[in-house]
Amino acid sequence: MRKKYPTDLSEREWARIEKHFRVSYKKGGRPPKYSKREILEAIFYVLRTGCQWWYLPNDFPLWKTVYEQFRQWKKQGIFEKMNYEITKYSRRKIGRNEQPSACIVDSQSVKTTEKGGSKAMMEGKKVKGRKRHIITDTQGFILGCYVGAANENDRDGMKIALNNMRTKYTKVKKMWADMGYQGRNLKNHIKEEYDIDIEIVKRPPCRFWVHKDTPPELLPTREQGFKVQPRRWVVERTFAWVNRNRRLSKEYDLLTTSAENFIYLAMSRVMLKREYA
């Protein structure tokens, strides 16, 4: 019996997601050495602490076993399915419909390490690495995500993220986005392809040019200080939730599919914690 870690699942949390990890074994075979729960808790440990696979503590299952099982679950889409099921349950619990009707999209540039895949440079932010594109509902729960190169256009990344979620969430009709997604061609394409209306949330003007002799009563005015953008803060909060996990503080994984699955895992853990806090 190993010691408990803060990343371990509670009994109620495991009961909620156990069905995704059930395996039927043939009779006569050797019983598995480690339970699926032990392996999943080791994956959560890697996600939260950011350690390398081979640095897992000795009281967890062998790191090669954990990594190989992570690869298999990733190929089977287990983590994405788990996130989908928990999202539906979390929405029902707060009185929402299982199928959201509106969403928010945004991207985040993240640096890579020497072995972390893409070394593309995002010109505006001077960030060499990757870009995460996520789509959330109005509660901040992730509906779809995509990880690509940092120099990839936001619009192209959004289309891939939409393709990743289109079969699961069919009732989305409204999307909020920042000015990086503006353009008539994109708006028309999203409307025709996905039947979704995009609303661009524009920032308020922060500077004005006026003639030096303009009377004070004619000077333009604006609100001073910080102002929350309509609907935009939701997706920014989701990025903050995800980035609490050190594995996602940078892009350590060579494969973008691994990074995407860690994002789904991080979101699933947030929702489980909220449900059983």
Q: What is the DSSP string of 35-79?
A: -HHHHHHHHHHHHHH---GGGS-TTSSPHHHHHHHHHHHHHHTHH
Domain count, the chain: 1
Q: What is the mean pLDDT of the chain?
A: 87
Q: What percent of the chain has pLDDT over 90?
A: 64
CATH code at 117? 3.30.420.10
Give CA torsion, residues 172, 173, 179, 183, to 10 deg: 120
Residue 239 lies in a domain: yes
What is the arithmetic mean of pLDDT over 245-262? Answer: 92
**Angle of CA points 274, 18, 72, to nearest 5°:** 110
Residue 69 lies in a domain: no
Residue 6 lies in a domain: no
Residue 72 lies in a domain: no
First-residue to last-residue Cα distance in the chain: 25
pLDDT of residue 126: 67
**Angle of CA points 162, 128, 43, to nearest 5°:** 65
261 Cβ partners below 8 Å, 6+ apart? 70, 73, 74, 79, 80
The more confident residue out of 87 and 275 is 87
Q: Which of 143, 140, 133 is nearest to 234 (CA)?
A: 140
Residue 194 lies in a domain: yes
What is the arithmetic mean of pLDDT over 40-62? Answer: 95
What is the arithmetic mean of pLDDT over 58-72? Answer: 95
Residue 240 lies in a domain: yes
Whole-angstrom CA distances from 207 to 48, 202, 212 are 42, 14, 15
Helical segments of 166-208, H only? 184-194
Give residue 252's domain range.
77-208+229-275
What is the arithmetic mean of pLDDT over 122-127? Answer: 63
pLDDT tens readout for residues 194-210:
999 999 887 665 555 66
Residue 98 lies in a domain: yes
